[in-house]
Amino acid sequence: PWYLTSGFIFFWAFLFLAVVVPLFYRLPPANTLEDVSKGIFIAERAQANLYDFDKIGVKLVGSDANENKTVQFLMGELALIKENVLEDFFEMEIDHQVVSGSYEKSGALYQYQAVQNIVIKLTPKGSTSEDYLLVNTHFDSKPTTPAAGDAGHMVVSVLEVLRVITTTREKFRNTIIFLLNGAEENSLQASHGFITQHKWAPNCKVLINLDAAGSGSREILFQTGPNNPWLVEYYKKHAKHPFATTMAEEIFQTGIIPSDTDYRIFVAYGNLVGLDLGQCVNGYVYHTKYDRYDVIPRASIQNTGDNLLGLVRALANAPELADTSVTGKTVFFDVLGLFFVSYSESNGIILNYAVAGVAFLLIYVSLWRMAFKSNVTFKKILISFLLILIVQIIALVLGLALPLSIAYMFDKYGLSMTYFSTPALSLGLYVCPSLFGLALPSFVYLRIQNNDKISYAQQLQMTLHGHAIILSVITVGLTYYGLRTTYIITWTLIFYAIPLTLNLLTSLHDRGFSWIGFLKIIQVVPFLYNSYLFYTFVVILTPMMGRFGQNTNPDLIISALVAFGTVLSMGFLILLVNLSPRSGFVLVSLIVLSAATVYIASSTQIGFPYRAKTNVERVYYTHVRRIFYEYGGTVIKDDSGYQFNFQDRRGSAPLRDANVNLTGLVSMESDCAKYKLCGMWLPRKTPVETVPEKPIELLNRTVLSDGKTLRIELKISFADHSSLLIQPNEDVTITKWSFLESFLSTTPPYYVIFSSGVDNSPVIFTLELQKPGNDFSVSVVQIGVTRQFMNSKGDLSSQEFAKTFPDFAVLIEWPADYHRYKF
């Protein structure tokens, strides 16, 4: 009956809500101070540290809060820990590193001066091992955020793990280095300073890196190795609350995620291998003022602490630290957070091909059985199946194309991100159209064909076989391509092959619709896993769409993700609606639900992307004064304005609709190409107030004795966050300078990003240039200096402007100036 078919769909929805969602958000009970004697992680104690960490406020590199208050807080806690160390078991050393250096990354030179690291060395008594385990996280923050989640949560977890280990009578094989670095948010600078310059760095062999792109839930393992499969086995055995998937690793390493971690630096400059773990849920508060202590439940800290403590204890005893040259990759994933599965990539390749092959074989046997039992030639069965296979290819295309079409149309009419604050809209916008597309072709085909010799039950069974054949072909193709994430399709196929095998081994295969029983029961497993996995990525990636920039349509990403999840979770199950002679009612219901959601998303406040505090629009802008000097020092241009860098697809439209005065807002495309001043520019009449001192003083401009080389010596007064753009004239070559020499091999203009911690002394910069004809009486190079005063609220005009923004906009703004010189 139609009502049982509809109930069948609701059953799977209920299963998702009753099982998948609770398990996704499940956290362990938090330990309290009453459990101190048990040698376990105490979340209550770590949470108290987090409260104090949060109170310090914004922790920008170069600020008093980061360079003094946070360092004092951490050193005070470490001193208390050191007082209670079991000296018969451990020797604890604390080193305060202040480090300067430079490196190339993403086409820019990163120059840092006097940033800080707090390094703790825990040496087991009697250990002769020279191989160290490194545990890293960072305590600095982005502008405006107290960074309770990114990465205060991880900092206090490290402190608590250190407390537990140093007060527990246990012996370790390897020394442990705990690194609390003070400049990660400035493109990973402090970790570079540690791994390239610290006295203990050469002995570090394995890394546990801790970071965040969210706040207040479970941390996900999203990078491993590289090429050290034994690390995944340690995670499997010693992480009490596993949350990991190869799919996360492969997505992150494509570079599409707008985040990075210190893991990159340690691998590139220290040749370390390790595990990269990060908070990932509630990314709406990430890098905003709402990343506060009160959004992080104690149980979340317990989850991180249990996993971290287990991993540190295990890896500190791991003999593999002595030789990390093992190669190979791993397929790994947790199953609803309940247990963890892993196997080597090579075994995964064998499994993928084998399962695809078995699926082909089982379907061949099934078709042969149909011919035998129906007194129909195998050739006719095969022809009928080939027609159904074409129908199922069309179904797969529709199942993916319909959600993508809706995403495209919404974006075309300026309605992108309607799901941003109401993720449930994805159900009607993307899930229902996908289900409709998957079911419609078979619904039409099974009703228009009139083959009396092949029963309806057999034709329906062939429809499912067609879907399985398509998945098998995709499995072979993706495995050949080298994608480990193919495991998702492989395991979906396994749980189709199992009921098909059982039906073939019994008479159920040949008795009408009797084969459906095994199928429904066993399909519970792939449904639960696939819906859990894709729900994970929807939860993680949806907030990230708020910082993906204006040039990418985020709806295409989310709709594709939801569509793939729907195909893998419900691809076999949705075809069973054809059991009912009134299955058209289900298809109509899907269309009605989708149409209603489209209306709600496009025409009501529910579809508006932003909400105050919880789902904010990020508005990055600086109040900039730009001064351009000609050769000789004459000012040729002096203007001021607000430079916007809109973070999501909707750009300025929501602000204009909220009556923010953005009249005169123009693109800075031409300035971006010339001066790296990119984004949107809103002029203002009054000059932006920064500091009166000019950033560059010419100390010397001399032609060397060879007559072919001009040497320029400059004194540059950077702010703690600054950048330098160096553009030699077309016929001029910079042959030498006082920055990293290797960076000169890149194509100009040269872009240098500078930051400083406890020492903001001016930098003496020299460069030597040559040009044909040796005429140095004219300008040969342009140098632009951007100084960002991130710890300032700006002048009165800027503060008044900020008050005009709506409450759903979180402002991340500060004053800056730009001086362009010709020398």
CA distance 145 to 820: 31
The pLDDT, as a whole number, for residue 670 is 85
Q: Is residue 32 part of a domain?
A: no
Residues 54 and 175 in one domain: yes
Residues 13 and 45 in one domain: no
Give, for 298, the enclosing helix (H) or strand (E). helix 298-315
- Report the greatest alpha carbon distance in the chain: 101
Beta-carbon contacts of 121 under 8 Å, excluding residues fewer than 6 positions away, are 92, 93, 94, 95, 175, 176, 177, 200
Residues 356 and 495 in one domain: yes
Q: In this structure, are residues 261 and 221 in contact, taking their beta carbons and an 8 Å threshold?
A: no
Residues 729 and 768 in one domain: yes
**Among the residues of 482-582, which ranges form H helices?**
487-505, 516-544, 554-570
CA distance 730 to 453: 80
Q: Is residue 28 part of a domain?
A: no
Q: How far is CA 631 from CA 6, 638, 731, 822, in A?
A: 77, 15, 17, 5
CA distance 441 to 444: 5
Residues 294 and 432 in one domain: no
Inter-axis angle of helices 298-315 and 43-56, nearest 10: 110
CA distance 202 to 614: 44
Chain CA centroid to CA 264, Å: 13
CA distance 773 to 729: 14
Residues 693 and 628 in one domain: yes
Residues 153 and 281 in one domain: yes
**Weakly modelled stretches of the chain, pLDDT under 50:** none
Q: Is residue 33 part of a domain?
A: no
CB-facing half-sphere around the CA of 510: CA atoms within 13 A: 14
Q: How far is CA 405 from CA 208, 223, 439, in A?
A: 42, 33, 17
Give, for 340, the enclosing helix (H) or strand (E). strand 339-344
List residues bridging with 723 in a β-sheet: 753, 786
Please give the single-letter amino acid code of residue 11.
F
Q: In this structure, are residues 325 and 226 in contact, taking their beta carbons and an 8 Å threshold?
A: no
CB-facing half-sphere around the CA of 276: CA atoms within 13 A: 26
| Domain count for the chain | 3
Of the candidates 562, 577, 607, which is a domain's last residue? 607
Residues 305 and 188 in one domain: yes
We report the CATH number of the domain holding residue 202 as 3.40.630.10
We report the CATH number of the domain holding residue 654 as 2.60.40.290
Q: Is residue 694 part of a domain?
A: yes
Q: Is residue 198 part of a domain?
A: yes
CA distance 186 to 142: 8
Residues 274 and 380 in one domain: no
List residues bridging with 110 in a β-sheet: 103, 753
Q: Is residue 24 part of a domain?
A: no
Domain that holds residue 225: 40-336
Q: Is residue 195 part of a domain?
A: yes
Q: In this structure, are residues 84 and 167 in contact, taking their beta carbons and an 8 Å threshold?
A: yes
Query: How many H helices and E strands in the chain?
Result: 23, 21
Q: In this structure, are residues 311 and 238 in contact, taking their beta carbons and an 8 Å threshold?
A: yes
Instruction: Read off the pTM.
Output: 0.95
Of the candidates 582, 607, 632, which is a domain's last residue? 607
Residues 223 and 85 in one domain: yes
DSSP label at 219? E
C-alpha angle with apex 168: 164 to 170, nearest 5 degrees?
Answer: 125
Structure tokens at 560: 């594709």
Q: How far is CA 293 from CA 64, 101, 156, 763, in A?
A: 21, 33, 12, 38
Residues 602 and 624 in one domain: no
CA distance 276 to 260: 11
Of the candidates 315, 336, 357, which is a domain's last residue? 336
The pLDDT, as a whole number, for residue 2 is 62
Q: Cis link prior to 403 (omega < 30° from 0)?
A: no
Residues 70 and 158 in one domain: yes
Placement of tokens 């569509």 in the chain: 563
Q: Is residue 22 part of a domain?
A: no
Please give the single-letter amino acid code of residue 31.
N
